[in-house]
Copies of this chain bind each other. A is one copy, B any other.
Amino acid sequence: MPTQTFSWEHRVTYAECTLGNHVYYARFLDMLETARGELFRHLGRTFLHWQENDTIFPVVECQLRYRGAARYDAVLTIELWITTAAKVRLDFAYHIKGPDGRLLIEAETKHVCTTPEDKPKRLPDELIAAVTPYLSDPQEP
């Protein structure tokens, strides 16, 4: 884990649940998007800002491990940090925790930095500087 993680809370809705009173497995990816977006806002430049400056971060890989079920109306805490911010790569790691602090989901999403026409471009220096406090030691999980 890095020096700092960013946290975002999300309350589970009926829209996200499926049979058996738990969040449908795909809906966590929607939550991860929201949390990433809020981290960027917190860092001072939103995804919208970067998009308006011809810089987007399409996902190239994601992985989720489901450790426990998330229930309707529960407030989940999404903790996230950066695992790679170098060259054209920007990778995030996430823990989603239940109301009692129990780890429900471990996830990673891996992104490339590109133009809107899908041409890879180096991460802006300003972005690398901004994410550094949230960057984990590469030896760590």
Contact = CB atoms under 8 A, between A and B. Distances in A.
Number of identical monomers bound together in the oligomeric complex: 4
Contacts of A129: none
B30 A26 contact: yes
A20 interface: yes
Q: How large is the interface on A (under 10, 10 to 19, 20 to 34, 35 or more residues)?
A: 20 to 34
Interface stretch (A11-19, A76-84, A87-95, A133-141): A11-19
Contacts of A21: 19
Query: Does more than half of chain A's interface fall in helix, strand or loop, or is it mixed?
Result: mixed
B72 A19 contact: yes
Interface of A: 11, 13-15, 17-21, 24-27, 29-30, 33-34, 37, 46-48, 56, 58-66, 72-73, 116
14 contacts: A11-B34, A14-B19, A14-B33, A15-B30, A17-B18, A20-B116, A26-B26, A26-B29, A26-B30, A26-B33, A29-B29, A58-B66, A59-B66, A61-B63
